[in-house]
Amino acid sequence: MIERTITVVPEDGLHARPASKVVTAANSYDSQVTIGPAGSDGVDAASMLAVTGLGVGPGDDVDITADGPDEADAVDELESILTTPEHDTEHTT
Amino acid sequence: MAHHDHKPLTTDLIDLDHEPETKPEAIEQLLDLAVEAGRVTDREQALADLRAREAEATTGVGMGIGIPHAKSSAVTAPTIAFTRSSAGIDFDAMDDEPATLLFMLLVPAEGGEEHLQMLSSLSRSLMHEETRTALQEADSPERVESIILEAVE
């Protein structure tokens, strides 16, 4: 299992488009992926309802964990989503 | 206006008698509840704000739940509206589950992060199967009101 602490950059926090990207990414890996406020238990990152329930805002620290065959890639992709400002992604997606 | 003292949800914002059949219909029906309750000054503006949020990412959050929401200059007080679909409607959820419990969250433009707090509390509460079942089985607006208000407190 891999665990990494990340500071959330997108200005929406874990809502709207960034949340949707996190959930889509978590669903695309075989590993079990969790996300939660730093230092506390995470929730299933593949569930939009669970991720929305976290209420994570910009500047908050979150712990991401991934456990499974593609755990390194899963954590890398989530880190990339959560550290990219929204206006940067607007033009590329 | 003393709207700020009002509860976000009252029984006139709960419709258990008319079931929407599509996602756009659900959004308009929920918005009409808020309009009729006197919480929206400009229906078209509020609808445009809801659609803009929806275009950004679906509010079909899975587990049979849809929560269209917006912060809007056309809204006078934090508002929740609720309706149901027994058959379930396609809300573009990632888990492909049809939505049966349909909420709308509206907050005034100056509402800060209030709407996100309400959204998070509601979502956390809806993670519990007991809450979802209670809302599906509730037979009166009064019952729905108490379940939801407890959830967002």
Active site residue A87: no
Helix extents (H) in A6-91: 16-27, 48-54, 71-82, 86-90
Higher pLDDT among residues A16 and A74, named by residue? A74
Q: How far is B21 from chain A (nearest CA, A)?
A: 22
What CATH number has the domain bearing residue B15? 3.40.930.10
Distance CA B47, CA B59 (A): 14
Distance CA B47, CA B27 (A): 8
Cβ(B9)–Cβ(B76) under 8 Å? Answer: no
Distance CA A5, CA A84 (A): 15
A29-51 pLDDT per residue, tens: 999 999 999 999 999 999 999 99
B132-150 pLDDT per residue, tens: 999 999 999 999 999 999 9
**Domain around B14:** 7-152
* Average pLDDT across chain B, whole number: 94
- Is residue B23 domain-resident? yes
- Is residue B2 domain-resident? no
Angle subtended by helix axes B43-56 and B23-36, to nearest 10: 140
Task: Please calculate the CA angle B85-A28-A16 and round it to the nearest 5 degrees.
Answer: 55
Distance CA B113, CA B110 (A): 9
Give the pLDDT confidence score for residue B5 in this predicted structure.
Answer: 53
Residues 6+ apart with CB under 8 A from B104: B27, B30, B31, B33, B34, B50, B67, B68, B69, B79, B80, B81, B82
Reported ipTM: the value is 0.89
Total domain count, chain B = 1
pLDDT average, residue stretch A9-31? 94
Whether A49 and B120 lie within 8 Å, measured CB to CB:
no
- B17: three-class secondary structure by DSSP: coil
- Is residue B77 domain-resident? yes
Distance CA B51, CA A43 (A): 28
Q: Hey, where are the domains in chain A?
A: 2-86
- Is residue B108 domain-resident? yes
Distance CA A67, CA A72 (A): 9
Cβ(B25)–Cβ(B93) under 8 Å? Answer: no
Whether B113 and A20 lie within 8 Å, measured CB to CB:
no
Whether A19 and B117 lie within 8 Å, measured CB to CB:
no
Cβ-in-10-Å burial (0-12, 13-18, 19+) of A39 comes to exposed
Cβ(A63)–Cβ(A42) under 8 Å? Answer: yes
Q: Which CATH superfamily is domain A2-86 in?
A: HPr-like (3.30.1340.10)
A83 touches chain B (CB under 8 A): no
Give the pLDDT confidence score for residue A45 in this predicted structure.
Answer: 98
B26-61 pLDDT per residue, tens: 999 999 999 999 999 999 999 999 999 999 999 999
